[in-house]
Amino acid sequence: MKPTVSATFSSRAKTGTGRVAPRLANRVLAVGIASSLLFITGCAVKNVEDELGYKPEARSPLSANSEIDSLSSQLVRWMKVEGEVTEEGASETPCGVDGSNDQHFYSRHFWSIYDLTKGTLGEAMSELRDRFHGPEWELTKDGRDGSKANSPELRAINRSTGHKVFAVWRSNRSGGNVDLINFIVESRCYEAPRET
């Protein structure tokens, strides 16, 4: 919700000549500007917390990306399969909660596992499902992704860190595309330290 100004400065103190008394007018103007700046600044901070539902922790993008990369590696171990894994690492993305200011960010990692040499993709999804039913995680979706292929999808959120995992098993793909599991692993929104 955008901040709205609840008061309008429309009354003016007048001298006997019909002009605004200079000192009083300057005071009213100064108080009005200061109040507006305080109001707008306060709302900007409040709106970030209101929109997210929490206060973003101060964290460096490098640290957040490293943690998300570690979670992705943990997911590979949890699946108990072996195969090819895409090599791109996590990167930061603006949270989009503070307008043009990109101080708030989250870490996101897109990756896939395919061409298995041990185990199956079905077994991998089953292992993930079991892990996401544990005390650390909440399984928020166990169903189909709604695409034309209607692929199996798991979504989970870590109860303590707020990290999210989206896993979609793409099978029976046309055009010579290999079967795989696509992942998106995301952190919560963080506040980058201000450069000095």
d(CA 81, CA 119): 5
167 Ramachandran zone, left/alpha/beta (phi>0; psi -120 to 50)? beta
50 or 124, higher pLDDT:
124
Question: 156-196: per-residue pLDDT in tens?
Answer: 999 999 999 999 999 888 887 899 999 999 999 999 987 75
Query: For residue 134, what pLDDT is reported?
Result: 87
Q: Is the pLDDT of residue 2 over 70?
A: no
Beta strands in 119-194 (DSSP E): 137-144, 152-158, 164-170, 180-186, 190-191
d(CA 137, CA 164): 9
Statement: the pTM of the whole predicted model exceeds 0.95: no
d(CA 72, CA 78): 10
What residues contact residue 87 under an 8 Å CB cut-off, 6+ apart? none
Name the residue ranges covered by the structural domains of the chain: 1-55, 57-191
pLDDT band at 4 (very low <50, low <70, confident <90, very high): very low
Question: 61-98: per-residue pLDDT in tens?
Answer: 999 999 999 999 999 999 999 999 998 899 999 988 76
Question: 17-42: per-residue pLDDT in tens?
Answer: 443 344 434 443 443 444 443 344 44
Measured N-to-C along each axis, helices 121-132 and 61-79 cross at an angle, to the nearest 10 degrees, of: 120
Query: For residue 13, what pLDDT is reported?
Result: 34
Q: Is the pLDDT of residue 137 over 50?
A: yes
What number does CATH give the domain 57-191? Answer: 3.30.2030
